[in-house]
Amino acid sequence: MSKKVTQKMRVYHRYLGFFLTGIMTVYAVSGFIMIFRNTETFKVERDYQVVLEKGLGEEQLGRALRMRGFKVLETNGDILSFEGGTYNAATGEASYNKKELPYLLDKIERMHKATTDSPLFFMNIFFSFSLFFFVLSSFWMFAPGKDPFKKGMYFAAAGVILVLVMVFW
C-alpha cells in the first residue's frame, strides 16, 4: 500500500476511535450487564399499582402486566394471586412488585438491543460499520514486513482461532 493510504487510514482510525469512545463505553457496560440478564444482579425491586381492564383471564393479565412466564398461583373470589402481586378481577386493580434494572442501566441496555422499531437502530448500524472499519484499518497501523506488523498477524490469527472455537463450542 502507498504511504499516503497508510497515513490516511491511521488518521481515520485515530479520530474515529476518539469520536466513538463514549458509545464504545456504553456498549461495553451494556454487554456486561446483559451477561447477567437472567439473574437479579444489578436489579432493584419496584412496586406498581395499576388499574387494568376488569375480568382479565390469566393469559390476558400476564400480557397486560408484561410478565414472562406469568402464572396465577391462587384464586380467592375475584382476587387472583401471582408471584409478587394480586389482581382484583372485579375492579381491575393490580398491585405487584417487579425486579428491574435501575433507570440508567435500563436505558443503556435498551440502546444495545435496539431493533428497526427504535430510532437508535441507525446509530447501531453506524457503530457496527465503525467497528468493522477498526478491524480493517488496524492492518494499516504498521508497515508490512516490520516486526510489529508480523507480531500483529500472530495476534490476529490467535483472535480468529479463539472466535472459531467460541462459535463452534
User: Which own/partner pairs from 26-35 qualify as long-range (CB within 8 Å, at least 24 positions apart)?
Assistant: 26/108, 26/111, 26/112, 27/112, 27/127, 29/105, 29/108, 30/108, 30/109, 30/111, 30/112, 31/112, 33/101, 33/105, 33/108, 33/109, 34/109, 34/112, 34/113
| pTM attached to this predicted model | 0.70
- Domain residue limits, the chain: 3-38+104-167, 44-100
What band does 30 get if pLDDT is binned at 50, 70 and 90?
Answer: very high
pLDDT in tens, 64-120: 998 888 899 999 888 999 999 999 999 999 999 999 999 999 999 988 888 898 888
